[in-house]
A = this chain, B = another copy of it.
Amino acid sequence: MTEDLASYADLDLDRTRRRGYPEAVYCAGKTAEQVTGIAAALAEHAGGVTLFTRASTEHAQAVLAALPDAFHDPVAQLLAWPPLPPEPTGERVVVVAAGTSDLPVAREAALTAQYLGRATDLIVDVGVAGLHRILGHVELLRQARVVVVVAGMDGALPGVVAGLISAPVVAVPTSVGYGAAFEGLAALLTMLNSCAPGVAVVNIDNGYGAGHLAAQITAA
């Protein structure tokens, strides 16, 4: 027995008109049945792209049941429909992952920006422990209109990048690290206290939020 959509969701279909960006479906905490119902409903209404974030394997199957041709990136736990991102408009978004372990969140950010209409670059494994690595990319970084920097452990990279460029940095703390990282709290605080101004902080592991913010900053 399928429950009525209205008993569990009131889709913000107006969002694209109001904000220019469509609603995304946060899958965590939703049942597979609810996700299927929402996917089916969005399929009928959405003018633009719909994203499904934090999707477990089970959630992904639920989306694909309603939207079989949807794009699915299991590492980023992201689905998108229609499967192809729009033609890029606005300016490029550069996404940087401090370490290999930060890659899932960085990918979620880059994909989000792409599906919201931006061209993106991805730079990986350039943490401050070996400064020459990020310094080797300064030229590219200086050309960006926004740089998303994803980092766990000490979370020091966004501040270092911000000090090198004129564009704003969107900083994403990750939950990567030893005990006193406290699941991303240490990196979060580092980023909020960046001694270089120009660092915009989002929630721990929130690649979607970072990609969205970057897309807004680089809008045409």
Contact = CB atoms under 8 A, between A and B. Distances in A.
A124 B7 contact: yes
A21 interface: yes
A41 to B, nearest CB: 12
A185 B8 CA distance: 24
Contact of A205 (B11, B179, B219): B179
A195 interface: yes
Interface residues of A, number: 92
A45 interface: no
Nearest to A123: B10
26 contacts: A9-B100, A12-B133, A14-B130, A15-B129, A18-B164, A21-B197, A38-B100, A128-B160, A128-B163, A128-B195, A154-B156, A154-B190, A154-B191, A154-B193, A156-B160, A167-B216, A170-B200, A179-B206, A180-B184, A180-B193, A186-B189, A187-B193, A189-B190, A192-B202, A198-B209, A199-B213
